[in-house]
């Protein structure tokens, strides 16, 4: 029996006799192997630079190729460098690098850790959805059916073409009694719409609108917007000047809104981290950020890397938010359930 016990817990087993020597060897290495602190200095430097970039991303200037906005668009993905640096530090057996990697890991968790927690709730008064349907969508009728099947009470569509509008109108008519199309954006609702009109976002053509939705629980001012696209060019970097100008104009329109309950649905061609959208994001909450689960990336649909499609609210309480299945578009539709305020009735 004694021999069997020794075999099970000795050097060939997984008992305390095996773990003890490992811990002792590690402690001995920390005391005697001075190289464990000297190795991995370059890795430690990379970790510190990564930490500084994440912590000070708002200080990175946009003067050169809008580098700051480009970084902020894909900021969550910098976290992928942390496990890579961790593995390299272990391979190098570098205590210095291991300690340094803790810094970017802590900063990333502070920035995005909350998104990994399920913040969804139940209840709410109204379900809203938005979808950039893509001007080159090969199946607009199928896309319309998919959006209607989401159960949303209010649906915003962006990138509508003149030829596709009748298709969407026909396909959505059985579900949504009320609708308005302004330029390349449109709003469909199960509840009455009033005051539908374009919103000037300084483009020279209509890519934004506003309407009042009168639901049983109260009135909601709904803005639909499709901000100009951004481009990444080798010679110019992240070109977004027109997008930024339109975002400021949209922010001014929302700031002037008289109704207390406001929802912004649309493709903003930017994430909540992008400082260029401050004119909007400084006065509104992201439904996904407040009541979502995960990052909710919406673009590109084949491999989502950023949430540039947004549902944002002011005076409204988000209850839950989610991403809908892929349609014929290069964007994923997104939806949210919201609770109107008592002052909206």
In tens, the pLDDT along 31-89 reads 566 678 788 999 999 999 999 999 999 899 877 777 888 899 899 999 999 999 999 99
Pair 205, 257 in one domain: yes
Residue at 6 is within a domain: no
Q: Whole-model pTM? A: 0.84
pLDDT-derived band of residue 24, with 50, 70 and 90 as boundaries? Answer: low
Pair 132, 249 in one domain: yes
Pair 110, 145 in one domain: no
Q: Is the previous residue joined to 69 through a cis bond, with omega within 30 degrees of 0? A: no
Pair 99, 133 in one domain: no
Pair 274, 210 in one domain: yes
Residues above pLDDT 70, as percent of the chain: 87
Residues 329, 300: Cα–Cα separation, whole Å? 9
Pair 174, 233 in one domain: yes
Tokens read off for 320: 């839950």
Pair 133, 272 in one domain: yes
**Which pLDDT score is estimated for 13?**
46
Residues 328, 46: Cα–Cα separation, whole Å? 41
Residue at 2 is within a domain: no
pLDDT-derived band of residue 135, with 50, 70 and 90 as boundaries? Answer: very high
Domain boundary among the residues 83, 116, 149 is at 116
**Which pLDDT score is estimated for 20?**
59
Residue at 242 is within a domain: yes
274 pLDDT more than 80: yes
Residue at 13 is within a domain: no
> Which contiguous run of DSSP H or E holds residue 262?
strand 262-267
**Which pLDDT score is estimated for 70?**
84
Residue at 12 is within a domain: no
Residue with the larger pLDDT of the pair 61 and 137: 137
Pair 248, 292 in one domain: yes
Task: Give the Cβ contact number of residue 159 at 10 Å.
Answer: 21
Pair 191, 86 in one domain: no
Residue at 220 is within a domain: yes
Domain count of the fold of the chain:
2
pLDDT-derived band of residue 232, with 50, 70 and 90 as boundaries? Answer: low
Provide CB contacts within 8 A for 77, sequence distance 6+: 305
Pair 57, 142 in one domain: no
Averaged over 335-340, what is the pLDDT?
97
Domain boundary among the residues 87, 116, 145 is at 116
- pLDDT-wise least confident of 59-68, 118-127, 180-189, 271-280: 59-68
Task: Give the Cβ contact number of residue 253 at 10 Å.
Answer: 18
DSSP-assigned beta bridge partners for residue 233: 237
DSSP-assigned beta bridge partners for residue 263: 222, 313
Averaged over 219-234, what is the pLDDT?
85
Pair 199, 313 in one domain: yes
Q: Crossing angle for the helix pair 81-92 and 95-112, nearest 10 degrees?
A: 170
Report the SS3 class of residue 187: strand
Residues 344, 215: Cα–Cα separation, whole Å? 10
pLDDT-derived band of residue 27, with 50, 70 and 90 as boundaries? Answer: low
110 pLDDT more than 80: yes
DSSP-assigned beta bridge partners for residue 286: 312
Residue with the larger pLDDT of the pair 4 and 168: 168
Residue recorded with tokens 């969804």: 120
Q: What is the CA radius of gyration of the chain?
A: 26
Residue at 203 is within a domain: yes
Provide CB contacts within 8 A for 33, sequence distance 6+: none
Q: Specify whether the CB–CB gap between 246 and 254 falls below 8 A.
A: no
DSSP 322: E
**Which pLDDT score is estimated for 104?**
97
Mean per-residue pLDDT of the chain: 89
Residues 129, 165: Cα–Cα separation, whole Å? 18
CATH code assigned at 135:
3.60.10.10
The parent domain of residue 82 ranges over 33-116
Q: Select from 275, 278, 273, 311 the least CA-distant residue to 292.
A: 311
pLDDT-derived band of residue 239, with 50, 70 and 90 as boundaries? Answer: low
DSSP 53: H
DSSP-assigned beta bridge partners for residue 309: 267
**Which pLDDT score is estimated for 3?**
46
Residue at 267 is within a domain: yes
Domain boundary among the residues 94, 116, 138 is at 116
Pair 284, 163 in one domain: yes
């Amino acid at each position: 029996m004694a021999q069997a016990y020794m075999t099970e817990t000795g050097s060939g087993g997984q008992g305390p006799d095996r773990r003890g020597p490992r811990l002792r060897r590690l402690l001995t290495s920390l005391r005697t192997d001075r190289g464990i602190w000297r190795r991995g200095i370059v890795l430690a430097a990379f970790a510190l630079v990564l930490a500084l970039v994440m912590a000070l991303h708002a200080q990175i200037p946009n003067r050169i190729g809008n580098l700051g906005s480009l970084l902020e668009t894909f900021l969550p993905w910098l976290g992928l460098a942390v496990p890579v640096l961790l593995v390299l530090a272990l391979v190098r057996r570098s205590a210095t690098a291991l300690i340094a990697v803790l810094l970017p890991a802590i900063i990333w968790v502070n920035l995005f850790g909350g998104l990994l927690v399920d913040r969804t709730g139940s209840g709410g008064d109204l379900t809203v959805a938005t979808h950039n349907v893509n001007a080159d969508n090969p199946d607009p009728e199928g896309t319309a059916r998919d959006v209607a099947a989401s159960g949303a009470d209010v649906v915003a569509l962006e990138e509508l073409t003149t030829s596709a509008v009748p298709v969407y109108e026909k396909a959505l008519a059985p579900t949504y009694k009320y609708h308005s199309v302004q330029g390349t954006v449109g709003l469909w609702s199960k509840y009455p719409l009033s005051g539908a009109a374009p919103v000037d976002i300084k483009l020279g053509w209509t890519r934004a609108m506003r309407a009042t939705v009168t639901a049983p629980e109260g009135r909601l001012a709904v803005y639909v917007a499709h901000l100009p696209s951004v481009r990444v060019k080798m010679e110019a970097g992240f070109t977004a000047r027109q997008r930024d100008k339109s975002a400021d104009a949209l922010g001014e329109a929302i700031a002037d809104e008289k109704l207390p309950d406001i929802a912004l649905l649309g493709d903003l061609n930017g994430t909540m981290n992008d400082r260029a959208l401050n004119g909007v994001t400084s006065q509104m909450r992201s439904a996904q950020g407040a009541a979502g689960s995960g990052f909710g990336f919406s673009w590109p649909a084949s491999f989502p890397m950023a949430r540039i499609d947004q549902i944002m609210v002011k005076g409204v309480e988000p209850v839950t938010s989610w991403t809908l299945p892929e349609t014929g578009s290069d964007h994923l539709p997104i939806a949210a359930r919201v609770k109107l305020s008592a002052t909206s009735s």
